[in-house]
């Protein structure tokens, strides 16, 4: 008996139909990405600057918090794309384990540079996975 995904969605910006569609999309993508057993909390909230979404994964605990800013999406489809992007960050979260280990081995100044490179590489990976999913669809 497998452990399923748990989603907690809190929203006041999207109507119930939009919420149900996004839940179905999130569950399907998470399952396809091998995230069975993860607990993923999805909240809809204002985010700073130009951030449309944010993912804070903890691969050791198989848990993630995804935040999406509903005010920065004109359509449910735009929110769906952001949701998928953030779920792919969960898929790539094992790299966070590597980053935490490196953090213990290098000076803070050096880690700042490595963090920038890591962030660019993570976003590049996520974008390429999105392209691959788009081609498959």
Do the domain assignments include residue 80?
A: yes
- By residue range, what is the domain housing residue 121? 6-136
How is residue 70 written in tokens? 């509903």
Mean pLDDT of 14-25: 73
Under 8 Å between Cβ of 40 and 86: no
Q: What percentage of the chain has pLDDT greater than the value 90? A: 32
Do the domain assignments include residue 69?
A: yes
**pLDDT value at 6 more than 80:** no
Residue 26 sits in a domain of what CATH number? Answer: 3.30.2010
Q: What is the pLDDT of residues 75-133, one digit of tens each?
A: 888 888 999 999 999 999 988 888 888 888 989 888 888 889 988 999 999 999 989 88
Total domain count for the chain?
1
In whole angstroms, give the CA distance from residue 124 to residue 130: 10
Question: How many angstroms separate the Cα of 118 from the Cα of each of 32, 44, 104?
Answer: 24, 26, 15
Average pLDDT, the chain: 83
Q: How confident is the model at residue 23, as a pLDDT? A: 74
């Amino acid at each position: 008996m497998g452990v399923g995904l748990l989603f907690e969605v809190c929203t006041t910006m999207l109507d119930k139909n939009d919420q149900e569609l996004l839940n179905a999309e999130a569950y399907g993508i998470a399952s396809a990405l091998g995230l069975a057993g993860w607990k993923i909390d999805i909240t809809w909230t204002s985010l700073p600057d130009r951030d449309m979404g944010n993912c804070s994964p903890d691969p050791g605990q198989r848990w993630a918090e995804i935040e999406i800013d509903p005010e920065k999406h004109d359509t449910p489809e735009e929110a769906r794309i952001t949701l998928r992007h953030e779920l792919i960050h969960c898929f790539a979260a094992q790299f966070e384990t590597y980053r935490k280990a490196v953090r213990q081995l290098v000076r803070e100044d050096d880690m700042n540079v490595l963090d920038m490179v890591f962030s660019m590489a993570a976003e590049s990976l996520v974008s390429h996975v999105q392209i691959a999913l788009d081609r498959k669809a």
